[in-house]
């Protein structure tokens, strides 16, 4: 049985901690993580394949938060699992993901277990209850992780465990509880504390704010942002666009296994907005914006249509969309929108004439 979440001390209004500077700074230093042409396919019975991730590429620098957003089932968690070497046996990967000189896709299990997970890459998992060891208290798990990662003994693991719990807004009074005695929100915070404890240079946070109320969402998001501000890289996988807006420097939008747009968070959430019609649709679907859902459903990843997978739902689709748009200038779309561009009838040539010079923006593919 789970116990209800205890009252958490009010944190008061917290100012958003996002700024443009980290993104600009991030691009001037070598990336912590460099992903190129990442693909994950699952072999299924009868020779079928599910293309969960296709040709994903991005760099992530120290001090930077990249939010990976997109509808359920588009491949976000599979991408994170690939980076940690946690894919099931029926998965095949292509491409590379280099962190600190190690290609995470090619590394053997021993390397991943001993030098990557927890030490170089911390994970806030999507299902914290499954991630926590059921027969150990939260404190025991935190202290054990400190001992394992740092080799410290004596009082230090005790101190570090309590500090990590505090950073993740996990109440000290609950540290001696077992996972089954925690609410979903508390289990989430315990898993966040575990992920923060190793101070890994790369933190993957897969839906870290699920099950939290808005105050705790903000507090957790700000703690993750602080992790980045201290010089680490943060990949935030989330449905929560408000959390992404609060802390992300850049936003990568995924649709049917592909990153279709990668842009500055300021542009994405600001007046200019994203250029991909799907990314626009995600924002327009928000209750605080137009509250207009995107018509239709995403395709089955085992039966992707030829060309642009979003075309069947896209108001701007033309015959050209039967071919896969290349990913250039942070975008994979034959008919992108600009902030001043409201007319779907306008020709792509006319629109490209109006396009502002974005040569400074990162091109994802190598
Ligand atoms: N072991 C597996 N075998 C076959 N298909 C899988 C396997 N694991 C995941 N998939 C498929 O890969 C696709 C992407 O799943 P993924 O969990 O990455 O989506 P997501 O974007 O993280 O969604 P959500 O936001 O709901 O977590 C889904 O269609 C899922 O069914």
Residue with tokens 């039967």: 322
User: Is 213 or 287 the better-scoring residue by pLDDT?
Assistant: 287
Give the mean model confidence (pLDDT) for residues 20-43: 77
- From 39, 78, 84, 90, the mutation candidate for ligand 1 (largest count of ligand atoms within 8 A of CB) is 78
Greatest mean pLDDT range, 18-27, 123-132, 318-327: 318-327
Distance 86 CA to ligand 1 centre (A): 13
What is the sign of the dihedral through the CA atoms of 70, 79, 98 and 150? Answer: positive
Nearest atom (ligand 1) to Cα of 254: 21
User: Of all protein residues, whose CA lies closest to atom 18 belonging to ligand 1?
Assistant: 75
3-state secondary structure of 23: helix
Q: DSSP E strands: which ranges in 217-266?
A: 233-237, 250-255, 258-264
Range 262-271 contact pairs with CB under 8 angstroms and sequence separation of 24 or more: 262/58, 262/330, 262/331, 262/362, 262/364, 263/330, 263/331, 263/361, 264/20, 264/23, 264/361, 265/18, 265/23, 265/67, 266/20, 266/23, 269/241, 269/245, 271/339
pLDDT digits (tens, 9 = 90+) for 125-170: 888 877 899 999 999 999 999 998 888 888 889 999 999 999 888 9
* CB distance 220 to 189 below 8 Å: yes
Distance 77 CA to ligand 1 centre (A): 7
Give the mean model confidence (pLDDT) for residues 332-360: 53
User: Of all protein residues, whose CA lies closest to atom 2 belonging to ligand 1?
Assistant: 42
Q: How confident is the model at residue 357 (pLDDT cuts 50, 70, 90)?
A: very low
pLDDT digits (tens, 9 = 90+) for 43-60: 999 999 999 999 999 999
Q: How confident is the model at residue 339 (pLDDT cuts 50, 70, 90)?
A: low
Give the mean model confidence (pLDDT) for residues 108-135: 90
Nearest atom (ligand 1) to Cα of 44: 4
Q: How confident is the model at residue 321 (pLDDT cuts 50, 70, 90)?
A: very high
- Residue 28 has a pLDDT of 62
User: Of all protein residues, whose CA lies closest to atom 31 belonging to ligand 1?
Assistant: 73
Mean pLDDT (the chain, rounded): 85
- Return the minimum-mean-pLDDT range out of 10-24, 50-64, 213-227, 241-255: 10-24
Give the mean model confidence (pLDDT) for residues 107-114: 95
- Residue 198 has a pLDDT of 86
Distance 254 CA to ligand 1 centre (A): 13
Distance 169 CA to ligand 1 centre (A): 29
Q: How far is CA 130 from CA 79, 146, 162, 191, 250, in A?
A: 19, 20, 22, 10, 30
User: Of all protein residues, whose CA lies closest to atom 28 belonging to ligand 1?
Assistant: 73
- Residue 49 has a pLDDT of 95
Distance 73 CA to ligand 1 centre (A): 5
Ordered structural domains, the chain, with CATH: 18-120+202-366 (3.40.50.300), 127-199 (no CATH)
Q: How confident is the model at residue 337 (pLDDT cuts 50, 70, 90)?
A: confident
Give the mean model confidence (pLDDT) for residues 271-299: 94
Distance 25 CA to ligand 1 centre (A): 33
Task: Tell me the pTM.
Answer: 0.84
User: Is 186 or 321 the better-scoring residue by pLDDT?
Assistant: 321
User: Of all protein residues, whose CA lies closest to atom 1 belonging to ligand 1?
Assistant: 88
**358 pLDDT more than 70:** no
Nearest atom (ligand 1) to Cα of 88: 1
Nearest atom (ligand 1) to Cα of 81: 18
pLDDT digits (tens, 9 = 90+) for 229-260: 999 999 999 999 999 999 999 999 999 999 99
**20 pLDDT more than 50:** no
- From 39, 42, 82, 126, the mutation candidate for ligand 1 (largest count of ligand atoms within 8 A of CB) is 42
Enumerate residues lining ligand 1, CB below 6 A. Answer: 42, 50, 52, 70, 72-78, 88, 90, 126, 239, 301
């Amino acid at each position: 049985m789970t116990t209800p979440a205890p009252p958490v001390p009010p944190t008061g209004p917290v100012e958003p901690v996002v700024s443009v500077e980290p993104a600009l700074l991030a691009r001037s230093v070598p990336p912590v993580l460099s992903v190129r042409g990442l693909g994950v396919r699952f072999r299924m019975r009868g020779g079928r394949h599910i293309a969960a991730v296709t040709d994903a590429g991005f760099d992530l620098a120290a001090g930077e938060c990249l939010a990976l957003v997109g509808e359920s089932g588009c491949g976000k968690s599979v991408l994170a699992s690939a980076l940690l070497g946690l894919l099931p046996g029926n998965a095949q990967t292509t491409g590379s993901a280099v962190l600190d000189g190690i290609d995470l896709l090619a590394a053997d299990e021993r390397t991943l277990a001993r030098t990557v997970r927890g030490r170089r890459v911390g994970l806030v998992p999507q299902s914290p209850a499954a991630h926590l060891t059921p027969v150990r208290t939260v404190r025991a798990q935190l202290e054990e992780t400190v001992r394992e990662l740092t080799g410290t003994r004596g009082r230090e693991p005790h101190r570090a465990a309590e500090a990590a719990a505090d950073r993740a807004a996990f109440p000290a009074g609950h540290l001696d509880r077992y996972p089954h005695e925690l609410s979903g929100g508390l289990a989430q915070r315990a898993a966040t504390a575990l992920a923060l404890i190793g101070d890994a240079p790369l933190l993957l946070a897969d839906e870290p704010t699920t099950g939290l109320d808005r105050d705790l969402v903000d507090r957790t998001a700000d703690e993750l942002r602080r992790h980045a501000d201290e010089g680490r890289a943060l990949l935030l996988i989330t449905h929560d666009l408000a959390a992404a807006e609060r802390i992300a420097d850049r936003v990568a939008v995924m649709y049917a296994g592909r990153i279709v747009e990668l842009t500055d968070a300021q542009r994405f959430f600001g007046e200019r907005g994203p250029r991909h019609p799907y990314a626009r649709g995600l924002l327009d679907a928000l209750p605080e914006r137009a509250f207009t859902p995107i018509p239709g459903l995403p395709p089955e990843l085992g039966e992707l249509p030829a060309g642009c997978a979003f075309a069947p739902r896209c108001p701007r689709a033309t015959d050209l969309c039967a071919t896969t748009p290349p990913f250039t200038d942070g975008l994979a779309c034959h008919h992108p929108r600009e902030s001043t561009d409201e007319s779907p009838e306008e020709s792509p040539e006319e629109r490209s004439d109006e396009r502002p010079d974005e040569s400074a923006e990162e091109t994802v593919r190598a």
